[in-house]
């Protein structure tokens, strides 16, 4: 394959993967599935970045307590992403503002970017997976 360097045990080419999260957590399975893909990408030592836009920003809302709905609270996983060398978390400023949220409402440090900046970043990726 052209994406693989020749030679026994040679390093595979690292691709730039971007996971775009646009859905709220719990109502659908998308947010949790995206997180699974992120961890798989990390396991293969790929360059993974995450974008949170539209209702996807709600995935990072502090204070999620899911006991009442009988579902696993997977929000602490976002804080553990750093342990997997996933440190590129971007949140779209327009989406935050439309929901009356500020970076202080989020459970993990993120870079807040405007849609114009985000679109440039998106353009630079090898693979963009949208959830």
Contacts with another protein by CB under 8 A lie at 22-28, 54-55, 58, 61-69, 71, 73, 75, 98-101
Buried b (16+ CB within 10 A) or exposed e, 43-70: eeebbbbbbbbbbbbbbbeeebeeeeee
* Contact between 66 and 88 (Cβ < 8 Å): no
- Closest contact distance (angstroms) between CB of 74 and another protein is 11
- Closest contact distance (angstroms) between CB of 52 and another protein is 14
CB-nearer residue toward another protein: 4 or 66: 66
**Got the DSSP string for 72-92?**
---THHHHHGGGGT--EEEEE
- Closest contact distance (angstroms) between CB of 44 and another protein is 31
CB-nearer residue toward another protein: 125 or 130: 130
CB-nearer residue toward another protein: 24 or 39: 24
């Amino acid at each position: 394959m052209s994406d693989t360097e020749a030679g026994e045990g040679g390093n595979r080419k690292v691709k730039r993967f971007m996971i775009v999260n646009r859905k709220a957590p719990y109502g659908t399975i998308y947010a949790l599935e995206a997180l699974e893909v992120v961890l798989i990408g990390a396991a293969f030592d790929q360059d993974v970045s995450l974008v949170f836009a539209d209702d996807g920003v709600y995935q990072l809302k502090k204070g999620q307590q899911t006991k009442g709905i009988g579902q696993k609270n997977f929000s602490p996983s976002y804080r553990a992403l750093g342990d997997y060398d996933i440190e590129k978390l971007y949140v779209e400023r327009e989406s935050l503002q439309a929901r009356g949220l500020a970076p202080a409402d989020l459970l993990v440090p993120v870079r807040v970017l405007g849609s114009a900046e985000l679109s440039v970043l998106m353009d630079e990726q090898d693979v963009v997976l949208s959830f």
